[in-house]
Amino acid sequence: MSVLDPFGAVQWFRARVAETIRDTVNGEQPAARDPRPTVERDPGYFGPDSVTWRIHQDSSMLVGGLRALFLQTMHPLAMAGVADHSNYREDAMGRLARTSSYVGITTYGSTREARDAIAEVRRVHRRVVGVADDGRAYSANDPHLLTWVHHTLVDSFLRSYQRYGGRPLSRDDADRYVDEMAVMGELWQAEPAARSVAELRQWFADIRPELRATAVARRTARWLALAPVPLPARGPYAVIAPAAVGLLPGFVRRDLGLPMPPAFEPLVVRPAAFALVRTLDWFMSALPVDAPAA
């Protein structure tokens, strides 16, 4: 890089910022994204022409991932498993890195890498068993709870991309995304997953009677809203968190105690989040193809 080459200086700066973002999200976990459409490499369960690759390499995933965590607290059995067995309060960034790595490997890894990643998490889940406060037994490998987690992720990533993604998504592509992601439910040995947006919406309508905000769910939601992230990430997180909350159904925000003034979300949160997400994508696009991004 030369001081007489302003374009090179900008590219260098973008790459350094992108590396910082990547390292903050990934930690020491394996690279979370490797979108190289080479014929020599097994493209995994999706491939470069999939809607899944298009959505999952967009920075709106950060909003969608956090939205999924808020939503998942609404199932009492899923929340009990997290409360009893997770150390997310002590290792928030480690949890983020592991989740980011899992999503990246299952999206962009080979079929074997994806299956191995899921098998490893299922092995860890064998220990996540117990009894919730209401007396019901729970298991993290329960097919019904696995379907809940799967659908919360798919719904959250889709809604986040539709609001903050870089390119418009047609109805057909939205259906295709839900259909493509159904293979993950099969690999997890979950209940049959939705194959279209309409099926996904109906599934959430059907499961609503099972959902309620327990006391621990409300505490967890408040913690997520104000999570103690590293100092460089606090500004972006202060935008991403309300953007994630703004994508939740109204009854979820109400029950979890996450109020938001009606005009604040469309007039303040959305413009700020859109600008942040698109800026993050601008930085991340500076990384070379063989340097996987976050």
Structure confidence at residue 37 (pLDDT) = 45
248 neighbors 159 (Cβ within 8 angstroms):
no
Looking at residue 34, its pLDDT comes to 47
Q: Look up the pTM and report it.
A: 0.87
Pick from 120, 108, 243, 278: nearest CA to 187: 120
3-state secondary structure of 264: helix
* Contacts of residue 248, Cβ cutoff 8 Å, sequence gap at least 6: 67, 70, 71, 256, 258
Per-residue pLDDT of the chain (294 residues; tens, 9 = 90+): 444 455 455 565 555 555 565 665 655 555 444 444 444 568 899 999 999 999 999 999 999 999 999 999 999 999 999 999 987 776 666 667 777 888 889 999 999 999 999 999 999 999 999 999 999 999 999 999 999 999 999 999 999 999 999 999 999 999 999 999 999 999 999 999 999 999 999 999 999 999 999 999 999 999 999 988 888 888 999 999 999 999 999 999 999 999 888 899 999 999 999 999 999 888 777 665 443 333
Q: Are 287 and 17 in contact (CB under 8 A)?
A: no
Q: Give the pLDDT of residue 10.
A: 58
Q: What confidence score (pLDDT) does residue 150 get?
A: 97
Tokens representing residue 242 in the block: 């309300």
Q: Which residues contact 105 (CB under 8 A, 6 or more apart)?
A: 30, 32, 113, 114, 117
